[in-house]
Structure 1
Amino acid sequence: MKRQHAIKQVSSDAVGWHAGVPPRAIVDAATEWTTTDGLVWLHLFKTVTAALLALGIAMLLELQQPRTAMTTVFVLMQPFSGMVLAKSFYRIVGTFVGMLAALSLGALFAQQPELYMVGITVWMGVCVAAAVRYRHFRWYGFVLAGYTAALIGIPTVTEPNGLFLAALTRAAEVAIGIVCSAAVSALIVPRRSSLALQNALQSRHLNFSAFAVKVLDGAVERGASERYFADLVDEVVGFEATRAFAAFEDPGMRSRSQVLARLNHEFMDVCARLHALHQLRKRLRGNGSIQVEQATASYFRELSQLLTTHNERRFDSSDAARVAIGLKTFQSTLPARMRATRRPLESGEPRCLPDFDTAGELLYRFVVEFIRYIDTYASLETNHNPARERPAVRYVSRTNAFVVACTFARTAAVVGAVSAFWIATNWPSGGMAVIGAALACALTSAAPNPVKLALQMTVGAACATVAGYLVTCYVYPVIDGFPLLCAMLVPLLAAGTWFASRAKTAGYGVGFTVFFCLLAAPDNVVVYAPALLINNGIAIVVSMLATAVGAAIVFPVQMPWLTARIEGDLRSQITLACTGPLTGLAQRFQSSTHDLMHQLRMLLPKRSRRHRRALRWMLVTLEVGHAVIDLRSEADRATYARYLHARWQPSLDRVTRDLAELFERPDKAHADKAQISVRAAMRVVQQSLEAVHTNRDRRHDQQRILSCLHFIRTALLDKDAPFDAR
């Protein structure tokens, strides 16, 4: 019977297959392919199509160098339409500024090649340094302004009369590449950044909710929590970048851009509150505060149940509204319930009261921040949005001045050295070498390992030279017509694009596609000059090697003292928390701290001792910084306390001053000094609390201030804190 049943099942599957209904496994495999490798092939197809379209239009218009339009496509094309449109916008601006710079330098230093190349070198250094300072897609605008000036001006440095015409022609060629990239990306199976952003929002919320449940249940170890919060840094910075270019493609996303910015900041606030709550519970367990753990366990368990997501794949506005209702009910009853739980401790375990009050305050603040975040999340699909009624938020990026200065010095040294060699030797292909050095310095400026990327581009450029020689000598002479030209170019361009789409081989692909187009892409009038092609290819390879050498020896980005400077900027965020204006301070503090840590994560090897140290500094900076901002906010509202105790305000000022000194110069002496000032302030606030004990509102004010100070004290006493680590 089993055998007959099996035969019958196979027969029914076969009938279904012949009837046009494929087996379920094939459908699942096809679906998975369309969301993984299929997207890569789609990007490859669109990139090659846009490149050939730009080449054809430039040839049809009889422009001087259609290869420039083709090169523009490969530098510009991105998987999402919003990325392409954003890069197109900044490329147009950068190209226009670069064209003006080339014309200005040509007018100032006509028939003076040495001074002209000094100007180009300084201009490249300034543009690349500004690109490092203003990252994301603004980076691209500054980079384009730099190497567009080199691309336009260097070929005409000895022929200044042709500079203006060359600038206009180059601008037209670049514009064709921009238009073709944007059109193909937006019209042929477009991939919307807005959809990717919505999916990222859902995925991030589901992952965070699951992690928060584990934290509230006490099921997260220290190493796991550190890794999770480290990954959140990349998510926050990546979300901000995606939000910026999603506004270019979708009017709906553009109108909700400020709401999404608010949502990202509120997500950072919730993460910071959750980490503070996790740290306090860890310290309570380490100090043996069993009574506080037992007294607060029911609240953590109840909150964990409220945050549990039933659908592990989707979280929409209705789910958010349901969670918000439950959290608001929990918030409204929490203070009264906490006071009822506190009364037995007042008589039985008075020493546990500071820990209990701090735990209750942190729990309440976490719930408040989560409600604010979930309300904004739920309003994304509705017309009414409470975030629009709040002050606008702005993501603040911060870059160390030494990093910017070193980038300028490195770029100027490489471009200047290649330019000096060209002028001194009168090298026929020296101009191409300078253009290659400018391109390499610009494209590697934002890479975490510019030496590796430059070497990969060197290999790609060498392969492009060989491929260009073979094409020029053996293919171009035997083909006729644009269709055959496209058929010949497709395999080469597709191979380069495929390598460029892989993170580990991106340098090879970029080097191959960009420099194949510059060296061997056809012009309207194809010139058979293999010797010139080989010489230009050698010049490009030499310039790539010079860029790699310069990145390795002229202020390399991974120098310990340079990363130490960035880590110092990270610690100095506490000074911002202690002294900055309170209006919008939490937003500036959060975003700039995450931005600095993101830079360190790019520069430091993952799972290294230096990376773990930087991560711990980020976590303790966020932890203490938020507590200081809360302390200053509460003290700003409780101005009456200055008249209750003469040392009330001076003691709090001393706390902020000593904390800033501790993070600026972390050592045991400054840590002890900060602990002493915190304990002194706690005694002063305790005396003020006793003085206003009969006034409920003022009593709660002083209790909140006391909880902030107690939490700062527990952070300073944490044995895992990096304050006195060498």
Structure 2
Amino acid sequence: MSVAEVAGEARRLAFPVDLGWRNVVFSVRTALAAIVALAIAFWFELSDPQWATLTVYLLAQPTVGAAVAKGAWRTVGTVFGGLTGLVLVAWFSQAAELLVAATVLVVGASFYAGARLRNYASYGTLLAGYTALLVSYEGSSDPLNAWSIAADRVLEILIGIACVTAASTIVMPRYAGDALRAALSRTFTSLATYAATAFRLATPPAAFAAMRRRMIAEVVSFDALRSYAVFEAPEMRVDAWALRRTVREFLVVLSVARGLYVRLDDFREAGSQMVLERIRPTLDAAAGRLERIAADPSSWSDRRRLRRHLLDQRLALRDAERKIEDMAGSVPVNALANGLLILRRSGDVLHELSMVVVAESASLRRAPSAPTGQPVRPRPDPGDRKEALLIALRAMTALSLLSAFWLATAWNMGFTAVSGGSIMLFFAVNQDNPQAGARAFLIWSAVGILVAYAVMIFVFPYLEGYGSLALVLMLVLIPAGLMAGTPSRAWAGIALGGFTISQIGTANVFVPNELALVNSAAALLLGMVGCLAVLTVFPVTSRVRRGQSWARTIGVHLPTVARGHAMPRQAADRIVSMLASLLPRLALDRQSDDDFLTGTLGAASAALELGRLRDAAADPAMPMEAARTLERFLDRFAGSLERLALGRDRQSAIAEAEAIVADARAAFAGLTLAPGTPATRAVLRAAASLRFIADRFIRDRAYLERSFAGN
């Protein structure tokens, strides 16, 4: 890491808020949207104008696509939830227990659906349940005016949605499509640097692992940006699958480069030094080319030239493969196989980087009417349904407890406690560890309430007119917006800005009421703490889905490829697709999560190598005895993987599979090879694939030994 990078990292740690000009624009734009929303709510004389401003901060997003996507789904959820709440009031307003039960069921259904969906579709579904809760509980207190209560609440939220969307679109807009292109270029450049590091073997293992974690975080960020960029342009909606394909290509590059780094670091067979001396210049040349690509800002803009450079380097690797094959007879087969495997995997890295370029060209430049390929979609995951059901049950439990407390105590602020607690439940959807984000939101909500109290008591009495009020609010909201625009502080900034302005007492007629603010704050925080406690004692994680992914990978995808019943690339795509859906849930500082990530990516690569072995067995150049060895190996290995997936005696199944691979490798090592013949090339390439599969029992043993469905 350079001195500048170290200094930059130190600044980020000392003051972890983005003060770049884009974030300043975002902060000012969001504050203006909140103030305009408040003014419109005042003009309509709505009952709770602060809901309009709170909505602005809950929707605040740095790009147009994100704001439009989130706003569109929130609009649908709000309107549908408001109507549902009115139905509940009409049916059960005279029976409090039935109203609570029906509302809890509606919220549970929304959380179940939200957990099955992703991104802003999930958010809109959750908002439908939350709005139904607000309207039904508030409306039940005054059934005759329930329509008015619902209309006010929905209109306040719609005003906030309209203002933040208009501000994002009009005031120095930043389009998600542009951000996506920039992120794609940046991620590609980072991946090229990462691959060059793997080729050169000049980075300590700990630093390389840290680089890999940063790259994974960057890929996750790109995937999130991709998910809402499709709201901006028809061609992006048409090619959404091609963009998802880019994410999978990124993951494959990460996997292959990591495996290559480990392989070069542990190349110790007899004769390995001779092989390394032969392949090192080629690898150094490839690393140098990747470093030049990463250092040249214009390289991404000329994608045809970029692909040509990558192709030239792949051709150089193939020349090196032929030179390794010519060493047959003078160097042991295992050393030659490992050298070939290193060159082949290096070529795979360059190929996948080329595929990123191809996917970018296809997804961002194809006309909307152009046909698209059919995506490879994973089959429905029973674990996904089970997890969603548990998330719904947890939400229903928390809401039932808060509602029962309200009914039992008849507390006039009980509704505030329920609504505050329900907000915390949003952190528990599609998150394995919701406590961290929920705690930060709770703390900064409390800070926002304290700021609101100070402003209401010490500043508001001296204000005259809406202009002075707007100025004060700007001074309060801009710091919150800077935090909201910083990814690591986003929820803290949303809580600070949202709850400062919602608790500050911005009613149509200002009447300072310290006791009301204290009671409201106590209820809000009590509800949040109660829901946080439920989240802690009732954890719901993606372990079942990971277990399903593991079992399907080991027991279905790899065996079907080994038996020739599935295309290797299709199986690998399915494996990586299952991983991509779980990627945001992984905490890579946890060993089991890192094992799952690396093992799944290794299994996807193993599917390709098994396919190569099937092709090798059918190659006319392959000696007959070697072909028979491969046929027996593939059939026996498929059976051992199926037994491993059953999990009855995992250690024995792993030992059996490992022995099957060792037997096949020993048979190939004993063959007599003549340099430069087609038979020698076929044998060495098959031996390289066998070597890769054998390495999985060392590199990814932790992945093989656990099903990931339990702790």
- TM value normalised by structure 2: 0.82
Deviation of the 1:239 alpha carbon: 1.0
Residue equivalent to 1:427: 411
Match of 2:328, SS?
helix
The reply to whether residue 272 of structure 1 matches residue 255 of structure 2 is yes
Residue equivalent to 1:18: none
Match of 2:586, SS?
helix
Alpha-carbon distance in structure 1 between the residues aligned to 2:444 and 2:354: 52
Alpha-carbon distance in structure 1 between the residues aligned to 2:592 and 2:531: 31
Within a 5 Å distance, the mapping from 1:161-172 to structure 2 comes to 161-172=144-155
Alpha-carbon distance in structure 2 between the residues aligned to 1:389 and 1:505: 38
Deviation of the 1:599 alpha carbon: 1.3
Residue equivalent to 1:659: 641
The reply to whether residue 68 of structure 1 matches residue 81 of structure 2 is no
Match of 1:284, SS?
coil
Deviation of the 1:351 alpha carbon: 4.8
Deviation of the 1:176 alpha carbon: 1.3
Deviation of the 1:524 alpha carbon: 3.7
Aligned amino acid, residue 112 of structure 1:
A
Aligned amino acid, residue 417 of structure 1:
L
Alpha-carbon contact 1:458-1:544 (below 8 Å) kept: yes
Given candidates 553, 561, 578, the residue that maps to 1:592 is 578
Alpha-carbon distance in structure 2 between the residues aligned to 1:466 and 1:210: 47
Residue equivalent to 2:598: 619
Within a 5 Å distance, the mapping from 1:333-372 to structure 2 comes to 335=318, 338-372=321-355
Alpha-carbon distance in structure 1 between the residues aligned to 2:265 and 2:557: 25
Deviation of the 1:570 alpha carbon: 5.9
Deviation of the 1:463 alpha carbon: 4.7
> Are residues 366 and 478 of structure 1, via their aligned partners in 2, closer, same or farther at CA, if it must alter by over 3 Å?
closer
Deviation of the 1:462 alpha carbon: 4.2
Residue equivalent to 1:628: 607
Aligned amino acid, residue 652 of structure 1:
L
Alpha-carbon distance in structure 2 between the residues aligned to 1:165 and 1:699: 83
Deviation of the 1:253 alpha carbon: 4.9
Alpha-carbon distance in structure 1 between the residues aligned to 2:336 and 2:513: 86
> Are residues 138 and 285 of structure 1, via their aligned partners in 2, closer, same or farther at CA, if it must alter by over 3 Å?
farther
Alpha-carbon contact 1:109-1:115 (below 8 Å) kept: yes
Alpha-carbon distance in structure 2 between the residues aligned to 1:410 and 1:184: 37
Deviation of the 1:114 alpha carbon: 1.0
Alpha-carbon distance in structure 2 between the residues aligned to 1:327 and 1:456: 45
Within a 5 Å distance, the mapping from 1:666-677 to structure 2 comes to 668-677=651-660
Alpha-carbon distance in structure 1 between the residues aligned to 2:207 and 2:265: 13
The reply to whether residue 578 of structure 1 matches residue 558 of structure 2 is yes
Deviation of the 1:667 alpha carbon: 5.6
**Cα shift readout 1:499-524 (whole Å, capped 9, x = no counterpart):** 54556665554344333444444344
Alpha-carbon contact 1:94-1:142 (below 8 Å) kept: yes
Within a 5 Å distance, the mapping from 1:324-335 to structure 2 comes to 324-332=307-315, 335=318
Aligned amino acid, residue 165 of structure 2:
A
Given candidates 40, 43, 46, the residue that maps to 2:29 is 46
Comparing 106-115 and 391-400, the one that deviates more: 391-400
Within a 5 Å distance, the mapping from 1:229-248 to structure 2 comes to 229-248=212-231
> Are residues 351 and 70 of structure 1, via their aligned partners in 2, closer, same or farther at CA, if it must alter by over 3 Å?
closer
Comparing 502-511 and 155-164, the one that deviates more: 502-511
Residue equivalent to 1:57: 40
> Are residues 357 and 456 of structure 1, via their aligned partners in 2, closer, same or farther at CA, if it must alter by over 3 Å?
closer
Alpha-carbon contact 1:94-1:145 (below 8 Å) kept: yes
Indicate the RMSD between aligned Cα atoms, in angstroms.
4.2
Alpha-carbon distance in structure 2 between the residues aligned to 1:258 and 1:452: 32
> Are residues 175 and 563 of structure 1, via their aligned partners in 2, closer, same or farther at CA, if it must alter by over 3 Å?
closer
Deviation of the 1:405 alpha carbon: 4.4
> Are residues 400 and 290 of structure 1, via their aligned partners in 2, closer, same or farther at CA, if it must alter by over 3 Å?
farther
Deviation of the 1:354 alpha carbon: 3.2
> Are residues 672 and 40 of structure 1, via their aligned partners in 2, closer, same or farther at CA, if it must alter by over 3 Å?
same
Deviation of the 1:73 alpha carbon: 0.7
The reply to whether residue 712 of structure 1 matches residue 693 of structure 2 is yes
Q: Structure 1 vs Structure 2: percent identity of aligned residues?
A: 24
Alpha-carbon distance in structure 2 between the residues aligned to 1:441 and 1:203: 34
Deviation of the 1:188 alpha carbon: 0.9
> Are residues 138 and 661 of structure 1, via their aligned partners in 2, closer, same or farther at CA, if it must alter by over 3 Å?
farther
Match of 1:157, SS?
helix
Match of 1:36, SS?
coil
Residue equivalent to 1:118: 101
Residue equivalent to 2:82: 99
Residue equivalent to 1:155: 138
Alpha-carbon distance in structure 2 between the residues aligned to 1:337 and 1:296: 6
Higher relative contact order (CA 8 A, sep 6+): 2
Aligned amino acid, residue 620 of structure 1:
G
Given candidates 188, 200, 207, the residue that maps to 2:171 is 188
> Are residues 637 and 74 of structure 1, via their aligned partners in 2, closer, same or farther at CA, if it must alter by over 3 Å?
same
Alpha-carbon distance in structure 2 between the residues aligned to 1:218 and 1:478: 66
The reply to whether residue 306 of structure 1 matches residue 306 of structure 2 is no
Alpha-carbon distance in structure 2 between the residues aligned to 1:311 and 1:474: 55
Deviation of the 1:456 alpha carbon: 4.2
Deviation of the 1:678 alpha carbon: 2.2
- TM value normalised by structure 1: 0.80
Aligned amino acid, residue 591 of structure 1:
S
> Are residues 710 and 474 of structure 1, via their aligned partners in 2, closer, same or farther at CA, if it must alter by over 3 Å?
closer
Residue equivalent to 1:417: 401
> Are residues 381 and 475 of structure 1, via their aligned partners in 2, closer, same or farther at CA, if it must alter by over 3 Å?
closer
> Are residues 311 and 369 of structure 1, via their aligned partners in 2, closer, same or farther at CA, if it must alter by over 3 Å?
closer
Aligned amino acid, residue 615 of structure 1:
D
Aligned amino acid, residue 558 of structure 2:
C
Deviation of the 1:53 alpha carbon: 0.8
**Cα shift readout 1:46-93 (whole Å, capped 9, x = no counterpart):** 111101111112222333332222221111112222221111111112
Alpha-carbon distance in structure 2 between the residues aligned to 1:508 and 1:217: 41
Match of 2:327, SS?
helix
> Are residues 359 and 53 of structure 1, via their aligned partners in 2, closer, same or farther at CA, if it must alter by over 3 Å?
same
The reply to whether residue 442 of structure 1 matches residue 421 of structure 2 is no
Alpha-carbon contact 2:188-2:353 (below 8 Å) kept: no
**Cα shift readout 1:447-495 (whole Å, capped 9, x = no counterpart):** 6654454444444444555555566667666655332332343333345
Residue equivalent to 2:536: 552
Deviation of the 1:216 alpha carbon: 1.6
> Are residues 531 and 406 of structure 1, via their aligned partners in 2, closer, same or farther at CA, if it must alter by over 3 Å?
same
The reply to whether residue 491 of structure 1 matches residue 471 of structure 2 is no
Alpha-carbon distance in structure 2 between the residues aligned to 1:505 and 1:214: 31
**Cα shift readout 1:331-350 (whole Å, capped 9, x = no counterpart):** 45655653343233235534
Deviation of the 1:98 alpha carbon: 1.6
Comparing 420-429 and 247-256, the one that deviates more: 247-256
> Are residues 350 and 183 of structure 1, via their aligned partners in 2, closer, same or farther at CA, if it must alter by over 3 Å?
closer
Match of 1:534, SS?
helix
Residue equivalent to 2:19: 36
Alpha-carbon contact 1:125-1:408 (below 8 Å) kept: yes
Alpha-carbon contact 1:461-1:540 (below 8 Å) kept: no
Residue equivalent to 1:481: 465
**Cα shift readout 1:180-238 (whole Å, capped 9, x = no counterpart):** 10111111122232333222222222222222222222323333333333333222222
Residue equivalent to 1:24: none
Aligned amino acid, residue 64 of structure 2:
S
Residue equivalent to 2:563: none
The structure having more radius of gyration, on CA atoms, is 1
Aligned amino acid, residue 413 of structure 2:
S
Match of 1:285, SS?
coil
Aligned amino acid, residue 577 of structure 2:
S
Aligned amino acid, residue 172 of structure 1:
L
Alpha-carbon contact 1:321-1:378 (below 8 Å) kept: no
Match of 1:346, SS?
coil
Alpha-carbon contact 1:321-1:375 (below 8 Å) kept: no
Comparing 457-466 and 337-346, the one that deviates more: 457-466
Aligned amino acid, residue 708 of structure 1:
S
